[in-house]
Chains A and B, each alone.
Chain A
Amino acid sequence: MTTADGQRNGHGDAGGETTVAGWGRVAVPGREVRRADLERATEDAVLTRGLARSYGDASLPPPSRPVVVASPLADRIVSFDRETGLLRAEAGLSLKEMNRLLLPRGWFTPVTPGTQFVTLGGMVAADVHGKNHHRAGCFGEHVTALKVRTGDGVVRECSPEREPDLFLATIGGMGLTGHVLEVECRLIRVPSPWIVCDSERVPDVDHYVEGLKEAGPRWPYTVGWIDCLSRGRNLGRGILQRGRFAEPDEAPRRAPTPLTRLRVPFECPEWVLGPWSVRAFNAAYYAAHGLDRKVRVVHPESFFYPLDAILDWNLLYGRRGFTQYQCVLPEAAGRGAARRFLELLTERGGASFLCVIKDCGPEGRGILSFPMKGISIALDVAIRDDTQSLVDALNELVLAEGGRVYLAKDSFTRAEHFRAMEPRLERFLEIRRRYDPDGRIRSAQSVRLFGDAP
């Protein structure tokens, strides 16, 4: 099945029995129902998803209630203030549509994840963060109100003043406090839709983290790519990028047109993203940048959403799919934490095509919001027989360092590891019980990690 943006959305049909999957393509039996009348569609539902871009099982239904409502057809703008940038919209409005419509008019989301194939509701549920976390925090910091159908069936309006517990639990609550129906948030004014990008090669992971922290106070957007297959002295060599919106006099006068996209036409064999091809790619990518620091004006899509250029890139990972592992390591763990993490990863032979390290600012207000002051590390892992033990080993290191994992990516963390990482869970569950005494709202992930009824 494909969505309005021509994206496959993990809705499959295998031999008569339908399945649903997240972006990592690990499917469970079930069905997705796309509805424009979200308020009515959620009356009886246990879970709502957006564009199914969470990697693991966060948007998959529990085994006993295998239907998940999908919101992308509920995509109307309820109101937009042309003076202040206050936007209220139905939860299925995609970031891609928001950017297409509002970026040429000088308005941009205060926080963007690494893909624009997400919905507003999904951005709230995962409390997404971006390259400007050190400056702007998570998306939830900019949300002013939500309309939610809670597990008791009631449709409620909540905000920092009105039912604040529900509001704070819903931000980063993975859709488990109820179905997000409408989102109100504050957009930011940008001087032009183009980006000034300053990039440079860094020789190893310590320099890399140093560079991130140094750029933080001066650049709103910082990010970088790491070669996690290089070893020893070169461990974690990479490319560090810093960006900001261009001033009108530095930018092309025209509005950026959406970039053309390539599509992965079929599921690839496993060697396509095996260790050898990834090694070759990483070496080429690192070498291609050249030694010099580069400053260029770039298209906002290529800066914020480089992977969106290849539609269905998850098919590259082959039949067994993949998982993304993302953790945050607190500042208290020290700057060597990233090196210790990468050393463990390379020791375990975890080949990763994509490895991104980001700077994180203070913890957000969402009760289960992922980031905390420190650095976040994200990597893709093709699913193999030993994936579970790799994730277990990484989780033990993260626990020891005082960090935690990102639920929007996760599908392998064990419940006991999660509970040990998450002292905030009890407060979240207490609020959830108040609004959903029968424990109706749940997902495959909440069954796995929160102890919900299957």
Chain B
Amino acid sequence: MRVVFVGATQGMGRALSRLLAERGDALFLLGRDEAELARSARDLEARAPAATTVGTAPLDLAGSAGFDAALTAADDALGGFDTVVVTAGLFATQEELEADPARLEELLTVNFTNTVLFCEAARKRLLARGGGTLAVFSSVAGDRGRKPVALYGATKAGLSHYLESLDHRYRAAGLATVCVKPGFVRTGMTEGLKAPPFAGEPVAVAHRVLAAILDRRPVVYAPAAWWWVMAIVRRLPRFVMRRVGF
């Protein structure tokens, strides 16, 4: 595969980009911090089975400018990409977001508006060349309105909705959209939070997501147990959700 990767520097993105590199897939990294991007690119080059170059270009989801320039740089380096992976996103607790309107606005913008705008730009390029795969990390937090993730969950609910529709709309035209719904995964992003049962590890999640990308599955829960957890949570009556704390 020839993959454009947004968010390869940390957490699940780091783990998934490594699996791709070890398979020998060509990679191009997009992200905010150019020094970090370069470090991750060198890491991926060392992991590739044969000597290769992993290119990088700046992309900041806090703004909506520069998406096309970044994708053009990726296209030039990869000779036309066929897969786009987006793992980047912000997280903050409900309390932090309620206390800080600026942080809330940034999270809403990054996780929903600008992620969708980026996906639209990438989707157009993929469709123009007959399709490909677009894999985007949403979250189980978007599956049901819940007390502890009212705001973060709303961005992910919107994103999941968009990704599902995109898959319905363009699958026949050759574009597979994979919506990844991680449950709690132990990464730098969740450091310090109390881990619930079924908490996952980035490497195991990455293996599951890679399989879903290769199979072009529209939705993947990771770790797998979260499919069952969310199947139940989605069906709980409202009066129950109002009472419970999760």
Contacting B40 at CB < 8 Å: which of A37, A76, A82? Answer: A76
Which of A36-91 touch B at CB < 8 Å?
Answer: 36-37, 73, 76-80, 82
Assess whether A1 is in contact with B195, with CB atoms less than 8 Å apart. Answer: yes
From known contacts A2-B201, A4-B201, A4-B203, infer whether A78 and B42 are also in contact, taking CB-CB under 8 Å. yes
Question: Inside 8 A of B43's CB, which chain A residues have their CB?
Answer: 76-78
B47 touches A34 (CB 8 A): no
Shortest distance from the beta carbon of B189 to any chain A beta carbon, whole Å: 10
Chain B residues near A156: list those with CB within 8 A.
Answer: none
Q: Does B128 contact A (CB under 8 A)?
A: no
Q: In the complex the two chains form, is A35's CB within 8 Å of B39's CB?
A: no
| B51 neighbours in A (Cβ, 8 Å) | 82
Contact with A along B163-204 (1 / 0, CB 8 A): 000000000000000000000001110011001000001110
Task: Provide the residues of chain B in CB contact with A1, threshold 8 Å.
Answer: 195
In contact, A77 and B195 (Cβ under 8 angstroms): no
Whether B42 pairs with A77 at a CB distance below 8 angstroms is yes
- From A2, A4, A80, B202 is in contact (CB under 8 Å) with A4
A80 touches B46 (CB 8 A): yes
B10 at the interface (CB under 8 A from A): yes
| Chain B residue with the shortest CB-CB distance to A34 | B191
Closest to A36 in B: B188
Known: A4-B202, A6-B201. A33 touches B42 (CB 8 A): no
Contact mask A240-257 → B, CB, 8 Å, 1/0?
Answer: 000000000000000000
Q: Which residues of A contact B187 (CB under 8 A)?
A: 73
Within 8 A of A (CB), among B26-78: 39-40, 42-43, 46-47, 49, 51
Within 8 A of A (CB), among B178-233: 186-188, 191-192, 195, 201-203
**Known interface pairs A78-B39, A79-B42; A34-B188 also in contact (CB < 8 Å):** yes
Q: In the assembled complex, how far is the CB of residue A84 from the closest CB belonging to chain B, in whole angstroms?
A: 13
Across the interface, do B191 and A35 meet the contact criterion of CB distance under 8 Å?
A: yes
Contacts of B186 in A (CB 8 A): 2, 4
For A33, what are the chain B residues with a Cβ–Cβ distance below 8 Å? Answer: 191-192
Is A101's CB within 8 Å of the partner chain B? yes
Q: Is the CB of A73 within 8 A of B188?
A: yes
A302 smallest CB distance to B (angstroms): 23
Given A4-B203, A36-B188; A101-B47 close (CB under 8 Å): yes
Interface size, chain B (Cβ < 8 Å):
21
**Complex CA–CA separation, A313 to B15 (angstroms):** 27
Which of A35, A78, A82 interacts with B188 by CB under 8 Å? A35
Compute how far the CA of A34 lies from the CA of B188 in the bound complex, rounded to whole angstroms. Answer: 7
Q: Within the assembled complex, what's the spacing in Å between the Cα atoms of A34 and B39? A: 19
Q: Tell me, rounded to whole Å, the shortest Cβ–Cβ distance linking A317 to chain B.
A: 25
Cα(A106)–Cα(B237), bound, Å:
58
B46, A36: Cβ atoms closer than 8 Å: no
Complex Cα gap A34–B42 (Å): 22
Q: Nearest residue in A to B191 (C-beta to C-beta)?
A: A34
For the complex formed, measure the closest distance between the CB of A185 and the CB atoms of chain B, giving whole angstroms. 14
The answer for the CA separation of A34 and B191 in the assembled complex, in Å, is 7
Decide: A76 and B188 in contact? CB cutoff 8 A: no
Instruction: Give Cα distance in the complex from A100 to B143, angstroms.
Output: 36
What residues of A have a CB within 8 angstroms of the CB of B188 in the complex?
34-37, 73
Which residue of chain A has its CB nearest to the CB of B192?
A: A33
Contact B39 A76 (CB under 8 A): yes
Query: Which residues of A have CB within 8 Å of B49?
Result: 105
Residue-wise interface mask of A (1-40) relative to B, using a CB-CB cutoff of 8 A (1 in contact, 0 not): 1101010000000000000000000000000011111000
| A35 CA / B188 CA spacing, docked (Å) | 6
Q: How far is the CA of A318 from the CA of B40 in the complex (A)?
A: 41
Closest chain B CB from A21 CB (angstroms):
18
Which A128-186 residues sit within 8 Å CB-CB of chain B?
none
A77 engages B46 (CB within 8 Å): yes
Q: How many angstroms between the C-alpha atoms of A299 and B219 in the bound complex?
A: 38
Distance, CA A64 to CA B11, complexed state (A): 31
B-chain residues with CB within 8 Å of residue A4 when the two chains form the complex: 186, 201-203
B52 nearest CB across to chain A (Å): 11
Q: A4-B202, A82-B51 are in contact. List 15 more A-B contacts (CB 8 A).
A: A2-B186, A2-B201, A4-B186, A6-B201, A34-B188, A34-B191, A35-B188, A36-B10, A76-B40, A76-B43, A77-B42, A78-B42, A79-B42, A79-B46, A101-B22
A-B contact pairs, 11 of them (CB 8 A): A2-B186, A4-B186, A4-B202, A36-B188, A37-B188, A73-B188, A76-B14, A76-B39, A76-B42, A77-B42, A77-B47
Shortest 4 CB-CB distances between A and B: which pairs? A76-B43, A80-B46, A77-B46, A36-B188
